[in-house]
Chains A and B, each alone.
Chain A
Amino acid sequence: MTQQVSPGAHGSSLNRYAAITGEITQIPISFPQRRNWWIAFAFALTLLLIFFVSAIVVFWNGVGVWGINIPVNWGLAISNYIWWLGIGHAGTLISAMLLLMNEHWRNALNRFAEAMTLFAVVCAGLYPILHLGRFWYFYWMAPYPNTMNIWPQFKSPLTWDFFAVLTYLIVSVLFWYIGVIPDLAATRDRTQKRRQQVFYGLFALGWRGSARHWARWQQAYRLTAAIAVPLVVSVHSEVSLLFAAGPIPGWNSTVFPPYFVLGAAFSGFAVVSMIATVLRYAFDLEDLVTARHLDLLGKLLLASGLMTSYGYISEVFFTLYSGVQHDVLTLQHRLGGTYAWSYWGAVICNFVPLQLLWWHNIRTNPLPLFLIGLSVTVGMWCERYMLLVTALYKDYLVSSWGEYHASFWEWSLYIGTLGVFLVPFLLFVRFLPMISSFEIKEALYEEEERGRDA
Chain B
Amino acid sequence: MKQLPSQHPETKTRSAIRRHPEGKGERSFWRSLEELAGTEEFRRSLEAEFPSLAPLDLDRRTLLKAMGASLALAGLTGCQVQEDEKALPYVTAPEFNVQGVAKWYATAVTMGGYAQPVLGKTLDGRPVKLEGNPDHPFFEGRSNSFTQAALLDLYDPHRSRAPRYLGRTATWDAFDKAMLENAARMDASQGEGFRLLTGTVTSPTLQRQIAELLQHWPKAQWHVLEPINEDFRREALQLLFGRRLDAHYRLEEADVIVSLDDDLLGSGPRQTLHGRSWSKRRLAFQKGQGRCLLMATEPSPTLTGITASDRLIASHSRIETLASALAHQLDAGIGRAANLTPKEQTWVSKAADALTASRSRCLATIGAHHRPEVQALGLLINERLGNFSRTIRFTEPIATMPPEGERSFDRLCEDMASGRVATLVMIAANPAYAAPEDRGFRDHLGKVGLAVHAGLHYDETAALSQWHAPLPHELESWSDARSPDGLVGLIQPLIRPIYDVRSAHVVMENLRGQFGGDDHAIVQATWRQAWSGAFDQLWRTSLHRGFIERSAYPDIVIEAIRAIPPTPPSQSEPTLHLIVRPDPTIWDGRYVNNPWLQELPKPLTKVTWENVILVSPQLAEERKISNGDTIRLVTDRTSVTGPAWIMPGQEAATVVVTLGYGRGPFGSAMDQMGYDAYRLQAAESPWHRSDVKLETTGLKQDVATTQKHHAIDGFDFIRTVAAPDEEVKTGRNSPPPSFYPPTVKNDPSWGMSIDLDTCIGCNACVVACVAENNIPMVGKELVGQGREMHWLRIDHYHEGEPNDPRHYFQPVPCMHCEQAPCEMGCPVNAAVHSFDGMNLQVYNRCIGTRTCSSFCPYKVRRFNWFNFTENDPPEIQAVRNPNVTVRARGVMEKCTYCVQRVSDVRIQAKKEGRSIRDGEVVTACQQACPTSAIVFGNVSDPQSQVSQRKGSGRDYSLLEEVNTRPRTTYLARIEEDLAPQKQSKEGKE
Contacts and interface: CB of A to CB of B under 8 A. Distances in A.
Interface in B711-760: 711-713, 715, 717
B889 A133 contact: yes
Contact of A69 (B707, B709, B787, B892): B787
Contacts of A62: 864-867, 889-890
Nearest to B796: A399
Contacts of B828: 137, 140-141, 150, 152-153
Report the 9 A-B pairs with minimum CB-CB distance, sorted nearest first.
A133-B848, A133-B890, A64-B865, A69-B786, A158-B827, A399-B795, A400-B859, A246-B855, A134-B890
A392 B861 CA distance: 14
Interface string B673-717: 000000000000000000000000000000000011111110101
Contact of B859 (A61, A71, A150, A326): A71
Contact of B795 (A73, A135, A140, A397): A397
B862 interface: yes
B786 A63 contact: no
13 contacts: A62-B865, A70-B859, A71-B859, A74-B850, A128-B849, A140-B828, A150-B828, A156-B824, A248-B857, A324-B961, A397-B959, A398-B710, A403-B708
Which of A73, A137, A140, A153 gathers the greatest number of chain B CB atoms within 10 Å? A73
Contacts of B492: none
A155 interface: yes
A31 to B, nearest CB: 43
A401 interface: yes
Interface in A223-254: 242, 245-248
A395 interface: yes
A133 B863 contact: yes
Which of B710, B828, B867 gathers the greatest number of chain A CB atoms within 10 Å? B828
B821 interface: yes
A134 B786 contact: no
B797 A398 contact: yes
A399 B826 contact: no
Given A133-B892, A134-B889, A70 B786 contact: yes
A159 to B, nearest CB: 4
Contacts of B958: 397
Interface of A: 61-64, 67-74, 128, 131-135, 137-138, 140-141, 148, 150-153, 155-159, 161-162, 242, 245-248, 324-326, 392, 395-403
A140 B850 CA distance: 15
B853 A132 contact: no
Which of B787, B845, B850 gathers the greatest number of chain A CB atoms within 10 Å? B850
Given A133-B864, A395-B859, A398-B709, A246 B825 contact: yes
A70 B796 contact: no
Contacts of A134: 846-848, 889-891
B203 interface: no
B790 to A, nearest CB: 10
Contacts of A131: 849-850
Nearest to A246: B855
A132 B715 contact: no
B845 A247 contact: no
Interface of B: 707-713, 715, 717, 782, 785-787, 793, 795-797, 810, 812, 821, 823-829, 845-851, 853-855, 857-859, 861-867, 889-892, 958-959, 961-964
Nearest to A161: B827
A73 B850 contact: yes
Given A399-B797, A402-B708, A70 B857 contact: no
Contacts of B890: 62-63, 132-135
Given A134-B848, A247-B857, A398-B711, A158 B786 contact: no
Contact of B863 (A70, A140, A157): A70
Contacts of A69: 785-787
Given A132-B890, A398-B711, 19 more contacts: A61-B866, A68-B865, A69-B785, A70-B787, A70-B861, A73-B854, A74-B850, A133-B863, A133-B890, A134-B846, A242-B851, A325-B715, A326-B961, A396-B859, A396-B959, A397-B859, A399-B717, A399-B812, A403-B786
A245 B810 CA distance: 28
A174 B889 CA distance: 38
Contacts of B715: 325, 398
Given A156-B824, A399-B797, A248 B854 contact: yes
Contacts of B892: 133
B792 to A, nearest CB: 13
Which of B712, B717, B847 gathers the greatest number of chain A CB atoms within 10 Å? B847
Contacts of B859: 70-71, 395-397, 400
Contacts of B826: 153, 156, 158
A26 to B, nearest CB: 48
B717 A397 contact: yes
A141 B959 contact: no
Contacts of B846: 133-134
Contacts of B821: 246-247
A401 B787 CA distance: 12
Contact of A70 (B824, B849, B853): B853
Contacts of A153: 823, 826-829
B851 A158 contact: yes
A166 to B, nearest CB: 13
A395 B858 CA distance: 9
A64 B827 contact: no
B866 A152 contact: no
B812 A70 contact: no
Nearest to B859: A400
A64 B866 contact: yes
Nearest to B865: A64
B822 to A, nearest CB: 9
B946 to A, nearest CB: 23
Contact of B845 (A150, A246, A248): A150
A266 B793 CA distance: 44
Contacts of A155: 823-824
B717 A398 contact: yes
Contacts of B796: 399
Nearest to B892: A133
A81 to B, nearest CB: 12
A324 B961 CA distance: 10
A246 B851 CA distance: 9
A208 to B, nearest CB: 37
Contacts of A157: 825, 851
Contacts of A138: 847
Given A74-B850, A132-B848, A400-B859, A156 B825 contact: yes
Contacts of B863: 70, 73, 133
B713 A398 contact: yes
Contacts of B963: 247
A134 B812 CA distance: 27
A152 B854 contact: no
A55 B211 CA distance: 69
Contacts of A324: 961
Contacts of A148: 845
Contacts of A73: 850, 853-854, 863
A138 B827 CA distance: 11
Contact of B847 (A64, A140, A398): A140
A365 to B, nearest CB: 43
A132 B715 CA distance: 34
Contacts of A152: 827-829
Nearest to A324: B961
Which of A140, A155, A400 gathers the greatest number of chain B CB atoms within 10 Å? A400
B717 A247 contact: no
Contacts of A64: 782, 787, 865-866
Contacts of B786: 69-72, 402-403
A141 B821 CA distance: 18
Which of B713, B793, B849, B859 gathers the greatest number of chain A CB atoms within 10 Å? B849
B850 A247 contact: no
B384 to A, nearest CB: 44
A63 B847 CA distance: 12
A326 B959 CA distance: 11
